[in-house]
Amino acid sequence: MDGVEILETEVRALIRRRGLDPLRDRRGVQALVADVLADYDERSLLGSVPVLPDPPAALKAVLDAVAGLGPLQRYLDDPEVEEIWINAPEQVFVARRGEPELTTTILTEGQVRDLVEQMLKTSGRRLDLSSPFVDASLPGGERLHVVIPDVTRRHWAVNIRKYVARARDLDDMVTLGSLTPAAASFLDAAVRVGLNVLVAGSTQAGKTTMLGALAGSIPARERIVTCEEVFELRLLHRDVVGLQCRQPSLEGTGEIPLRRLVKEALRMRPDRIVVGEVREAEALDLLVALNAGVPGMCTLHANSAREAITKLCTLPLLAGENVSDRFVVPTVAGSIDVVVHLGLDARGRRRVLEVVGVPGRVENGVVELADLFHRQGETLVRGEGYPPHAERFARAGIDLPALLRAGR
């Protein structure tokens, strides 16, 4: 055994003896590792243990092993890394600002399983043959997704999506180049006056980041209830309640789907409802909530703003045979006010591609849209359309025509 292995073995023994929880008491473990390292250095001077060539590096390696994710911890600590995924033990990838790269990290099958088991300890979620998928939130806010064989061909597939807080409000989105100041000013006003916003885009387009930035424009006096499959949003408001789904138990009971969360949120006196993402029949419950007069926003996977509205007109039909498009289509037209569509450019940068208004009109079963902002080359320019509910802007003392003229 080399010096680092000896140090790690001694630290693990002391953690067990003292009953420390490395995941919940990281500071206590840090102090313990520092004490053991000091004692180790004294013994190394006497020649009883090998000398550590780089004590600070040894301390970090041991701390990462016992209280972090071992070989993966350096990627979690790297602010440039947005996501980590493992296709096979010898194939560990990371994404830096949208660009994927194969790392030099090589694991074993046992290490991958041990890492996943460690990550799931505090989540209360399980992974076995009867439940080969898991979606969980890590203590640091990262989102974990794991799939095991025989759903995968041979190896465990692991994804860790980090919460990279580069944008907390719309001004940050302007700084990052995703939005123009004019579009950001309009969206800020739209959220403040209570318009319902749908954020659409492809995977990794930055939908959750945009949702959080838009939520930053919600007035501080309002109460927000968020509904997510796994906690990802981090809102800085003083009055926020976050709800997340729950998987069924081993007996198949106790599951709490997103539909239930949206229904329960309405009983919690919300001034705003924020739904992380709608994928299935919960779209109906969201529309019912928005149609009940509770302003809100959510995200949805789609290739354009038009397709996002079309998809939102289709998903509620999954709720049951008694749900008709004759009810859903006009409800979508009357419930959604603004659609923000995002995408990735050729260099992997996240950009707002278009912002459209939903005036509330339906023509031959098609929801009418109004072009508010669209991409013209590298610039987001003002379109010819107007958003709905101009009276809300007027009541708030906002000159909507002047606000939109600023984007020309």
Query: pLDDT by residue (tens digit) across 41-78?
Result: 888 888 888 888 888 888 888 888 888 888 999 999 89
Superfamily of domain 170-406: P-loop containing nucleotide triphosphate hydrolases (3.40.50.300)
Helix 282-291 and helix 258-265, axial crossing angle in degrees, nearest 10 = 10
Say what the pLDDT of residue 207 is: 94
Average pLDDT over residues 230-249: 90
Single-letter residue type at 277: E
Closest CA to 379 of 181, 172, 168: 181
Closest CA to 308 of 336, 330, 344: 336
CATH, range 71-164: 3.30.450.90
CA distances from 152 to 115, 133, 136, 146, 210 (A): 18, 10, 19, 10, 32
Residue that has been written with the tokens 């709608």 in this structure: 278
* Phi/psi of residue 224, nearest 5 degrees: -115, 135
Say what the pLDDT of residue 342 is: 96
Lowest-confidence pick of 46-55, 118-127, 302-311, 379-388 = 118-127
Say what the pLDDT of residue 166 is: 67
Cis peptide before 150 (omega within 30 of 0): yes
- Which part of the chain has CATH 3.30.450.90? 71-164
On the question of pLDDT at 196 being above 90, the answer is yes
**Measured distance CA(226)–CA(232) in Å, rounded:** 10
- Whole-prediction pTM value? 0.83
Residue that has been written with the tokens 């709905």 in this structure: 388
- Which part of the chain has CATH 3.40.50.300? 170-406
Sheet holding 240-244, edge to edge: 240-244, 224-228, 272-275, 296-301, 197-201, 338-344, 350-357, 370-376, 379-382
